[in-house]
Structure 1
Amino acid sequence: MPSKATPAAPAPAAAGWRAWLACIAGGLAVLAGLTWWLDGDGPTAVQAATAKDSTAAVAPTPTGWPALGQTQSPAMSPDERAKQLAVWTERLERAKHTLASYREGTRYPFESRPISEHADQTYPNRPVAEDSALRTEDGQTDPTINVKTSQSRVFMAAGESVVFTIAASDRSGQPVAFTVTQARALGMPSPGRGGQLPQQAVVFGDAGLQGDARAGDGVQSALLAPAQGPFAQYDGAIRVEVKLKLAGREGLHGFDVYYSPEQPAVWAGPVREVVERGSLYLYMPVQVSTPGRYLVSGRLDDASGKPLALLSFNDVLPAGLQQIKLTVFGKLLRDLKPSFPLTLRDVDGYLLKENTHPDRALLPRLMGTVHVSKAYSLNGFSADEWTSEERDRYLAEYGRDVDLAQGQVDQLTGP
């Protein structure tokens, strides 16, 4: 195959003429520039540099705020200097506070946080209680009657049930006898759902049956098990409407729960614990039938039962046998100084279903103790703060804000 033709080199005579003409042209250009300079019309060195950098980006400076490194004008009055100093001092304090707050808030990774930051998630399986004045059917309230209610949970995974309770009292706290005249569970409308919604009667009583803790105590209870009735395949919100009659008055109350009949994954074995890279990791095997993004949370107590940390998992899992990793960050242990062994309890989670309603399918709830760790020495865990590309980038940016403000304050307080 023939190769590409290479351009022929110019003849020696032609090359010589071209070089000679280039020299003459260059000399004439230099002579013209020198004449222009001697006539006083040439640019100064500063003007030339300015023209060269005319396209460079320049950070805007607020009116009256000199840029970092700029010498203060000798003509600046003491009042002007004092005003600018006040502005930059405030900005410096704000920048320092932002940097310190971000550094403090990101010492630990998102998946391993002190439980004190999530007090509402410390005991997720405790009943949800409410104490309010009696609500009447016309939307008003009767402050002479107080109604106390509870429900054992809000979210129900496949096969789970919920217990509702109702009690009434007067202003002095004395129990008031009442009758439940009607109670029913109703499927709630949602976007994209058509057809008739399921409903069923709910029976309240005080006989120590169907979820009632103690017979004859004035607290009426009811049990709702969606899997055992018309809600077996229903996915979404269920409202339980209760009508009451007491002391010649009529009132009503509503309970809301969410049922998920789908079981996207099931727990598949005991927890495995490993100390790696200065932290404690708890691996929970799970058999995934529906791939997708799973969010799981677990609570960690120390040996005395004191709540210690909220551990979370947020990642995409494929189908099959997988591992959910809960991280007990090393520095978190070093800072909180818990007594060992540690107890993992009350683990719950769900498959996130994007762009649909309902937006989740619940995993089976693991109530109470799930795993008890071995005993460790705190010296075996790392005292280093959590690091990531994002955290380093934010710390550097907030640090530059501090440096900028500090430089301005130094200039304004200088001579």
Structure 2
Amino acid sequence: MPSKRPAAFIGAGVAIAAALALWLGRSGPDAAPRTASAPQPAGPQFFGAVPDDGGLPIPSDRDERRRQLLEQVQLTDHTYCSYLEGSKYPMESRPVAQNPDQVHPNQPIQEANPMRTEGGGTNNTVLLQTSQSHVYLAAGEAAAFSLRAVDGKGQTLPLVVTRAVAQGMTYGSSRPTPQVAVPFVDDGGGADPVAGDNAYAGVLAPGQGGLAGFHGTIRIEVRYTAGGRSGFALFDVIYTPVLPATWTGKAREAVEEGSLHYYLGLEVRQPGRYVVTGRVDDARGKPFAVATFNDVLQTGTREVKLTVFGKLLKDETPAMPLTLRDVDGYLLRENVDPDRLQVARLQGRVLSGRARSLDGVSDAEWQSEERSRYLAEYAKDRQAARAALGAFDPAQPLPQSACAPAGMAQMGKLTPPAAGSARPGS
């Protein structure tokens, strides 16, 4: 008996062809059929051709070129405006909001990580919570450490410290340093605030033991058991055994050249570039600014000047008087490791100001040869981009600049800069 499949395929093909012809002839149930005389677009048009499948318009070459020119205008304008805004205060006097990591330098560094085990693995059922008071230590300073173990539900696990030692890290042919024991206790004494809570704390004072003369990174290795499992934790500090300079204890405040300055006495033993940072709070104790000194000092009694820029004071209007606190610094050493010699930190309040008003403070923006040069070059780039867009499409208005004064829209008519203009920083 002959098969009926060919006839079925032919019938299906006829039905599909009829449906396709009906779909091509109509755009809807009531649409009129297409006629051969209806004019069709010949190639891409100014606003982009519409593909036959009803998708998004295909951009024309002109559309794409205008988009590129507009992006260049926006990019050069953003670059100019960002630098203009970001450089209105000098680098040595910045709002505290721009340096959140510098606000409280003496707060402990706290972390929580899965237990580290021998062989490089981790145990995710045990979470080790650690804290470290300082990373950089000057001669005579100490650092405190703590650790506590919890399970996946945050419940404290029984913890026992089985071994804790500190050793200077050496490389190549350097002689290994001695290992120094670091007692970790849970007795409520020293760095441990509460006894018997399964949180252990230890203190390292390098200058009081076998690491007193070591300069570099000291690693503290703590081995412990928690919840019946064994793990270890590592802490690193960078130690300076000799002070390159010492504070004299003298400090004063002055309003000069439109800004507020703090002068701190420093007895310099080793000459070189010193970097010193201080934090400034308003009268309510709210962090306000970060002031930095970065300059070369010769040996002898010197003054470190920390500046709160006048316009920053005018813009932020902090409650007066201000307080300088938490000053730290170091002698920068180039092309060596470690790259610094730490100066002993001044923790807490260093100087409470007397100035209770902004009399004598200027609201002028910071000016320098570098800033003027950068702004001039960025302005040339911006003017050139606007000029190119204006010449390409003179019928369309130019976009308004994000930071330009009135009349900026006319910059598209300006002559672009000559080829080969120097870029900032070149």
- Give the TM-score normalised by the residue count of structure 2: 0.77
Q: Does 1:326 align with 2:309?
A: no
Distance 1:338 1:229 in 2: 46
> Which residue of 2 is the match for residue 313 of structure 1?
293
Distance 2:74 2:369 in 1: 26
Deviation readout 1:291-326 (Å, 9 max, x if unpaired): 011000000111111111110010000000011011
Partner of residue 160, structure 1: 141
Which structure ranks higher in relative contact order (CA pairs < 8 Å, sequence separation ≥ 6)? 1
* Alpha-carbon distance, 1:347 to partner: 0.2
Q: Is the 2:177–2:211 contact (alpha carbons within 8 Å) kept by the matching residues of 1? A: no
Rounded to whole Å, the distance in 1 between the matches of 2:382 and 2:144 is 55
Residue of 198, 214, 218 corresponding to 1:238: 218
Look up the match of 1:45: none
Match of 1:300?
Answer: 280
Aligned-residue offset at 1:378: 3.0
Residue number in structure 2 paired with 1:131: 112
3-state secondary structure, aligned to 2:388: helix
Gaps of 5+ in 1: 1-76
Note the 1:256-267 alignment, pairs <5 A.
256-267=236-247
C-alpha separation in 1, matches of 2:215 and 2:394 = 69
Distance 1:148 1:83, change over 3 A: closer
- Tell me the matched-pair count: 338
CA offsets per residue over residues 75-97 of structure 1, 9 Å max, x none? Answer: xx965554433222211111111
Is this contact kept in 2: 1:81–1:412, CA < 8 A? no
Residue 285 of structure 1: aligned partner: 265
1:88 maps to which of 69, 85, 88: 69
For 1:188 and 1:380, the matched residues in 2 are separated by 52
- The residue type paired with residue 203 of structure 1 is P
Q: Which residue of 2 aligns with 1:398?
A: 378
Deviation at 1:330, TM superposition (A): 0.3
Q: Distance in 1 between matches of 2:155 and 2:179?
A: 35
User: 1:266 & 1:387 partners in 2: Cα distance?
Assistant: 33
Counterpart Cα distance in 2 of 1:167 and 1:346: 28
Task: Provide the alpha-carbon RMSD of the alignment.
Answer: 1.6
Structure 2 CA distance, aligned partners of 1:185 and 1:208? Answer: 22
1:118 to 70, 75, 99: 99
Aligned to 2:337: 357
Establish whether residue 204 from structure 1 lines up as the match of residue 150 from structure 2: no
CA distance in 2, matches of 1:272, 1:365: 18
- Find the counterpart in structure 2 of residue 44 from structure 1: none
- Residue 414 (structure 1) shift: 2.3
| 1:173 counterpart = 2:154 | yes
Offset from partner CA, 1:377-398 (integer Å, 9 cap, x none): 2353111110100100110111
Q: Structure 2: how far apart are the matches of 1:370 and 1:248?
A: 48
> How far apart, in 2, do the equivalents of 1:278 and 1:413 lie?
47
1:187-207 deviations in Å (ceiling 9; x for gaps) = 11247x722323111111111
In 2, distance between residues paired with 1:250 and 1:381? Answer: 61
Query: Residue 5 of structure 2 aligns with which residue?
Result: none
Deviations 1:252-298 (A, max 9, x none): 11111111111110111321111111101111110001001100000
Q: 2:227 aligns with which of 241, 247, 250?
A: 247
Alignment check: 8 A CA contact 1:190 1:357 kept: no
Residues 190 and 297 of structure 1: CA distance in aligned 2, closer, same or farther (over 3 Å): farther
- The one of 79, 82, 86 aligned to 1:105: 86
3-state SS of paired residue (1:90): helix
The question of 1:272 aligning with 2:244 is answered no
Q: 2:353 aligns with which of 351, 373, 387?
A: 373
Q: Distance in 2 between matches of 1:399 and 1:389?
A: 15
Q: 1:248 to 1:88 in 2, by over 3 A?
A: same
Q: Secondary structure at the match of 1:175?
A: coil
Q: What is the alpha-carbon distance in structure 2 between the residues aligned to residue 414 and residue 379 of structure 1?
A: 50
| Counterpart secondary structure, 2:70 | helix
Cα offsets for 1:132-164 (capped at 9, x unmatched) = 111111222212211111111111110111111
Q: CA–CA distance in 2 between the matches of 1:83 and 1:172?
A: 56
The answer (yes or no) to whether the contact 1:157–1:362 under 8 Å persists in 2 is yes
CA contact (8 A) 2:168 2:176 kept: no
Residue identity matched to 1:123: H
1:156·1:362 contact (CA, 8 Å) conserved in 2? yes
2:178·2:210 contact (CA, 8 Å) conserved in 1?
yes
Contact in 2 for aligned 1:346/1:369 (Cα 8 Å): yes
